[in-house]
């Protein structure tokens, strides 16, 4: 099949060069989970995969998606010849041509789940057993389409490490000593809405240490590392740790992009954390479990958050509320904390 794709591409390229026909540039609208290392890395893997196996001249246009209380998608989003979603919920739009995700809460409705199961395009993939969408996408692209993922090995490894919380310890997760963890900090917390879209094409080609040194990345790193250090002290002051569950509320501060491993660094004996934060666009409840603590039984956090129209993975999940719904977010956080403590 892939040989036929390349023959088709070269045939039309040859015609266009000789004035025997038009050569239309393929526009790819690539939607990804914004403010997320795994989302950016997944987008980069898809971009390189598509250009290698389908169209080297495709023009990419990026669109970051965030979880919010209001509608996640509109038909205007899917304005490309190819429309792609990686590391984010499914859309049943007939204009969606590619989809990759690994979250347990991948479908907004049962109808969406049925629509996915009925799809016969061979371009939509879902597997919640993967710890990262980056590794999932790279695996599918390699095994099903002959993509050579080896040049992106470092990016894929770190995408899986960061999104799957596979650090050796909480101390290493909080230290932010590696270029990949520093880049993740910038992706998640830099006050620049266009940063990730600029970054994705670079991730397809450059090593992570080189990317961190780029001026538009490096200018954010110093202030964000200082903010990270201050957030450790703030979370220590704000946290209530009881019966194995951490609870904190930093919704009055600019800390939505805090390092999610800090609570377990401060309180390693605790199994769960529940945090309330806010930004200009939403109020958020984050619910997680300690990757370095074993337990005989674990609550499925995605299922708990789905009760409040949130979701995620079994061991880490979240809920988004409207920007003016901070009290509703706090109430949900208190209720979830009570469930976990019981």
What pTM value is reported for the model?
A: 0.88
What pLDDT was estimated at residue 15?
39
pLDDT tens per residue, range 59-69: 999 999 988 76
Least confident of 15-19, 22-26, 122-126, 292-296: 15-19
- List the chain domain ranges: 2-166, 238-341
Mean pLDDT of 260-280: 96
pLDDT for residue 246 is more than 70: yes
What pLDDT was estimated at residue 215?
97
User: Considering only the top CATH level, what class is 238-341?
Assistant: alpha beta
What pLDDT was estimated at residue 25?
86
Mean pLDDT of 17-42: 81
User: Considering only the top CATH level, what class is 2-166?
Assistant: alpha beta
pLDDT for residue 284 is more than 80: yes
**Percent of the chain whose predicted confidence (pLDDT) is above 90:** 84
pLDDT tens per residue, range 111-165: 999 999 999 999 999 999 999 999 999 999 999 999 999 999 999 999 999 999 9
pLDDT for residue 21 is more than 70: no
301/318 Cα distance (integer angstroms): 8
Q: Which residue has the tokens 């390699």?
A: 142
| Residue that wins the pLDDT comparison between 217 and 71 | 217
Closest among 101, 3, 89 to 46, alpha carbons compared: 101
* Residue 16 banded pLDDT, cuts 50, 70, 90: very low
What pLDDT was estimated at residue 24?
65
Q: What are phi and psi of 247, to 5 degrees?
A: -130, 135
């Amino acid at each position: 099949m892939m040989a036929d794709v390349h023959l088709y591409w070269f045939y039309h390229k040859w015609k266009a060069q000789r004035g025997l026909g038009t050569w239309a540039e393929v526009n790819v609208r690539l939607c990804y989970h914004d403010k997320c290392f795994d989302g950016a890395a997944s987008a980069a893997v898809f971009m390189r995969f598509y250009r290698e196996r389908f169209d080297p001249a495709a023009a990419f246009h990026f669109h970051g998606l965030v979880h919010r209380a209001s509608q996640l998608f509109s038909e205007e989003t899917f304005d490309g010849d190819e429309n792609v979603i990686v590391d984010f919920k499914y859309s049943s739009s007939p204009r969606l041509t590619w989809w990759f995700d690994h979250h347990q809460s991948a479908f907004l409705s049962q109808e969406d789940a049925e629509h996915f199961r009925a799809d016969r395009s061979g371009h939509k993939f879902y597997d919640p057993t993967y710890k990262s969408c980056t590794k999932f996408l790279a695996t599918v692209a390699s095994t099903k389409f002959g993509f050579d993922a080896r040049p992106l090995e470092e990016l894929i490894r770190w995408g899986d490490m960061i999104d799957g919380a596979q650090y050796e310890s909480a101390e290493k997760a909080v230290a932010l000593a590696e270029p990949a963890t520093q880049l993740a900090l910038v992706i998640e917390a830099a006050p620049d809405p266009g940063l990730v879209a600029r970054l994705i094409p670079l991730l397809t080609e450059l090593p992570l240490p080189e990317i961190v040194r780029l001026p538009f990345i490096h200018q954010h790193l110093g202030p964000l590392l200082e903010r990270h250090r201050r957030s450790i002290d703030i979370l220590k002051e704000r946290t209530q740790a009881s019966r194995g569950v951490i609870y904190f509320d930093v919704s009055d501060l600019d800390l939505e992009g805090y390092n999610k491993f800090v609570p377990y660094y401060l309180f390693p004996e605790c199994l769960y954390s529940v945090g309330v934060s806010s930004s200009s666009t939403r109020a958020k409840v984050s619910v997680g479990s300690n990757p370095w603590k074993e337990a005989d039984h674990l609550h499925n956090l995605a299922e708990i958050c789905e009760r409040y129209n949130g979701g995620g993975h079994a061991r880490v999940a979240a809920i988004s509320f409207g920007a003016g719904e901070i009290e509703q977010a706090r109430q949900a956080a208190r209720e979830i904390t009570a469930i976990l403590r019981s």
